[in-house]
Amino acid sequence: MKPIRFYLAMILARFSYIVLKILGKNATQFPGVIAMKVCPNILRYLEVSDKVIAITGTNGKTTTTNMIASFLTAQGIDLVANNLGSNIEGGIISALLNSTTFFGRNHKEMAVLEVDERSSPYIFPYINPDIIVITNLFRDSYKRNADVEFILSILEKSIPKSSLLILNAEDPLSSNLCKDNPRKYFSIAPQEFEEEVSDNIIKDLVYCPSCGNKLIFDFNRYHHIGFVHCERCDYASPTADYLIWKIHEDQIIIKEGNNYYPYQSEASRITDNYNKIAVISVLREMGYNHEDIANYFNKIKVVSSRYSETIVKNKRVISMLAKAQNPVANSLAFDFIRKQKSWGSISLILMNETYTHKQNFNSIENMAWIYDADYEYLNIPSIKKILCMGQHNLECKIRLLFAGIDEDKIQLLEPSYSLDITTDTDTTIIIHGAKNIAVARQFKDMLVRRIKDEN
Amino acid sequence: MKIEILFGEVCSLYGDHGNIMFLEKTFGKNNINKTSILETPKFITEKIDLIYMGAMNEKTQAQVIDKLLPFKDILLEKLDNGLKALFTGTAMDILGKTIVEENGTTLEGLNIFDFETRIKKRPRLNCAIYGLYKNIPIVGHKTQFTQTFGDNSENYFIKVQKGMGINKNTNLEGFIYKNLIATNITGPLLIMNPQFSENYLGVEIPYKNLLLAAQNKRIKDTNLVKDVFY
Ligand SMILES: [Zn+2]
């Protein structure tokens, strides 16, 4: 028997959903929040699908979730997903409201849910996932996530004993979670011409998770990601069940057991490949064969809000998402830029704050994370100009100076909805956070138009 | 000036690296010693003028206390002889009597100050800080699970005007003993507070005018927001 509160919550949440839809607003979070206000333990009464796949971790959750959901939908599975990125309690409840009847009965075959790692204790016990993907764990927002030890302890306690874990073999933090759970590992083999990145300012794991001795990196891809072993005990990175064995220009080769499977793939960032192999691991564990998975992803181009590039009149304009408050995401973006050989001279627009384009006096943003991110990577001759936009643009400039960047290269931009700059370099890159996606896209279009109009 | 960074590989959680960068830039990398948690601190046997330690998690706090406890008397003697020591973020907590977890588990601290730190995981405390050290403005942030209880009325670091002191019921933040300053303020304290850095370190600092301008902007913003807690 469900309490009256539950039905009241259902009425209000569904009503708010309809109103939001009529107003043309996004209803991925608010209805769930309303429901939770009225009936705090509503998740207990919402029936979930027979099959639940959850995706958590610091970076790559949204893309991984979207790829899994899109493949399964194409197979004709009627599923619910929170693929618009509302991954805390309100968002999960909103998604489940869409997959249940008024009486809380589930009517979907499957649920594919992105779950914020911080919210997992309030979600996992109720949705009891069959499969949980943990993409990776890094330090993230200081405010929400504190540090990785805290997140690890939360996940350790909240992951149900029966969930099959799909883990990153190269992340010695998350790969050691819940040792009694069934598990499969994914990984990317070091490539012949791949350079190690071992000069990051931060490493969230330095010492052996078993004995505390210093970990030895056999191959350090970035931060604490890579292949490790311990010289004091027998700890070592686990062997991958699903491996990206080779990365070619237009193809990746997956190794599973002793078999090799080709997938089409555009030259892409390493993080895209981690997402891909995580997705393939999940779908393989669900029983799909490589041919079907490859066929689908060969046909479909995964739309990315993360990276967009336009070439006009031989000039390149790029917008790149790197979550604000997340030093690892930003360092990866900076590393990607420094490794490009064909981009010529570069102007960089840094939109580092949560909101860079409008004055925000609701709270004072802690910008300390920029000292955990590797701005030093931007200290290269091809970068001619760095423009810092936002309320704390001066703090961003100071960070760049400490990275050794020439003061003459740095310009300050006030928060604005327009971008008044010259496009005199071969490449212009806008780096922005998740709250600035729309405005960054607008800036990019503005720059493209300006270049088109130039004589 | 010879400087020792204590356990930077595990005690730099919330942008504390900024302080290390600042010290490297100000004094030159050659004058900075970085000691890992597996090593014995150099200040015990060598002539060191300043030690710095930043924020760490609870597990590391226990390790750091284990590491330093045998040298407590030496540390006190060095402090009495003028050693400068800057402890930011949760590094402050290890200098007290105890750190108490929610389930009552108690970790004995170095007991250099008479205070107790209590951990509460939800809600996490986050706030911007503005206050005065003597007459010098201090800005920064706190991001922590803890509040600290004890009498610092005679030896506080700053009087807070925005934000909180060592707990929500006081505006007195941090502890001072001779040249030892311990504060829960995290992040690049030395970069965000140029007058303090100059005063405490006794040297000319790099980019002073820019740092002052950035600090002034923060002070202005702090007065504009309704609530510095977030
Ligand atoms: Zn070991």
Per-residue model confidence as pLDDT tens digits over A147-202: 999 999 999 999 999 999 999 999 999 999 999 999 999 999 999 999 999 999 99
Interface test with A, best of B14, B39, B102, B125 (most A CBs within 10 A): B14
Structure tokens at A311: 């070439």
**Residue B201 confidence (pLDDT) above 80:** yes
Distance of CA A67 from the midpoint of ligand 1 (Å): 36
Contact A364/B228, CB-based, under 8 Å? yes
Instruction: State how far the Cα of A104 lies from the Cα of B206, in Å rounded to an integer.
Output: 63
* pLDDT range class, residue A103, cuts 50, 70, 90: confident
Task: Please name the residue of chain A whose CA is at the shortest distance from the CA of residue B22.
Answer: A402
Establish, for the pair of chains A and B, how many residue pairs have beta carbons separated by less than 8 Å: 103
Return phi, psi of residue B9, to 5°: -70, -20
Coil, strand, or helix at residue B210? helix
What integer pLDDT is reported at residue A303 of this predicted model? 63
* pLDDT range class, residue A104, cuts 50, 70, 90: confident
Return phi, psi of residue A394, to 5°: -70, -40
Contact B9/A142, CB-based, under 8 Å? no
Instruction: Return the HEC string of chain A.
Output: CCCHHHHHHHHHHHHHHHHHHHCCCCCCCHHHHHHHHHCCCHHHCCCCCCEEEEEECCCCHHHHHHHHHHHHHHCCCCEEECCCCCCCHHHHHHHHHCCECCCCCECCCEEEEECCHHHHHHCHHHHCCCEEEECCCCCCCHHHHCCHHHHHHHHHHHCCCCCEEEEECCCCCHHHCCCCCCEEEEEECCCCCCCCCCCCCCCCCCECCCCCCEEEEEEEEECCEEEEEECCCCCECCCCCEEEEEECCCEEEEEECCEEEEEECCCCCHHHHHHHHHHHHHHHHCCCCHHHHHHHHHHCCCCCCCEEEEEECCEEEEEEECCCCCHHHHHHHHHHHHCCCCCCCEEEEEECCCCCCCCCCCCCCCCHHHHCCCHHHHCCCCEEEEEEECCCHHHHHHHHHHCCCCHHHEEEECCCCCCCCCCCCCEEEEEECHHHHHHHHHHHHHHHHHHHHCC
Task: Please name the residue of chain A whose CA is at the shortest distance from the CA of residue B55.
Answer: A147
Distances (CA, A) of A48 to A43, A93, A95: 9, 10, 10
A283: CB partners within 8 A, 6+ apart: A68, A71, A293
- B174 near A CB under 8 A: no
List chain A residues with CB under 8 Å of B225.
361-364
Interface test with B, best of A139, A398, A407 (most B CBs within 10 A): A398
What integer pLDDT is reported at residue A267 of this predicted model? 64
Q: In chain A, which segments carry CATH 3.90.190.20? A: 307-453
Q: Is B165 left (phi over 0), alpha (psi -120 to 50) or beta?
A: beta
Distance of CA A230 from the midpoint of ligand 1 (Å): 5
List chain A residues with CB under 8 Å of B38.
207, 214
- CA-based R_g, chain B, Å: 17
Contact A364/B15, CB-based, under 8 Å? no
Contact B210/A401, CB-based, under 8 Å? yes
**Residue A302 confidence (pLDDT) above 70:** no
Between B9, B18, B225, which is nearest A371 by CB?
B18
Instruction: State how far the Cα of A346 lies from the Cα of A341, in Å rounded to an integer.
Output: 11
Q: Mean of the pLDDT values across residues A279-304? A: 91
Q: Between vectors from CA A442 to CA A440 and to CA A447, what angle results, nearest 5°?
A: 95
> Where do the domains of chain B lie?
3-224
Distance of CA A234 from the midpoint of ligand 1 (Å): 6
Contact B143/A143, CB-based, under 8 Å? yes
**Residue A273 confidence (pLDDT) above 80:** yes
Distance of CA B38 from the midpoint of ligand 1 (Å): 13
A242-257 pLDDT, tens digit each: 999 999 989 999 999 9
Sheet of B146-150, strand order: B106-108, B98-100, B115-119, B146-150
Interface test with A, best of B210, B215, B220, B226 (most A CBs within 10 A): B210
Instruction: State how far the Cα of B120 lies from the Cα of A94, in Å rounded to an integer.
Output: 29
Q: In chain A, which segments carry CATH 3.40.1190.10? A: 48-297
Coil, strand, or helix at residue B161? strand
Return phi, psi of residue B73, to 5°: -65, -40
Distance of CA B44 from the midpoint of ligand 1 (Å): 28
List chain A residues with CB under 8 Å of B37.
207
- Of residues A25 and A54, more confidence is placed in A54
Q: Mean of the pLDDT values across residues A269-283? A: 95
Contact at 8 Å (CB) between B173 and B165?
Answer: yes
What mean pLDDT is reported for chain A? 94
Instruction: State how far the Cα of A87 lies from the Cα of A123, in Å rounded to an integer.
Output: 10
**Rounded to a whole number, what is the distance in Å from the CA of A341 to chain B's nearest CA?**
29
Contact A366/B143, CB-based, under 8 Å? yes
CATH number corresponding to B3-224:
3.40.50.880
Name the residue among A114, A100, A116, A30 with its Cα closest to residue A69: A114
Instruction: State how far the Cα of B99 lies from the Cα of B106, in Å rounded to an integer.
Output: 6
**Residue A305 confidence (pLDDT) above 80:** no
**Residue A85 confidence (pLDDT) above 70:** no
Q: Residues 178..217 of B with a Cβ closer than 8 Å to A: which?
A: 186-188, 191, 207, 210-211, 213-214, 217
Between B22, B124, B225, which is nearest A146 by CB?
B124
Find the distance separating the first CA and the last CA of chain A, reported in whole Å. Answer: 73
- B16 near A CB under 8 A: yes
ipTM of the complex: 0.98
List chain B residues with CB under 8 Å of A361.
221, 224-225
Return phi, psi of residue B118, to 5°: -115, 130
**Rounded to a whole number, what is the distance in Å from the CA of B40 to chain A's nearest CA?**
15
Q: Mean of the pLDDT values across residues B90-113? A: 98
CATH superfamily, region A307-453: Mur ligase, C-terminal domain (3.90.190.20)
Structure tokens at A206: 């330095």
What integer pLDDT is reported at residue B226 of this predicted model? 87
CATH class of A48-297: alpha beta
* pLDDT range class, residue A84, cuts 50, 70, 90: low
Rounded percentage of chain A residues whose pLDDT exceeds 70: 98
Contact B230/A371, CB-based, under 8 Å? no
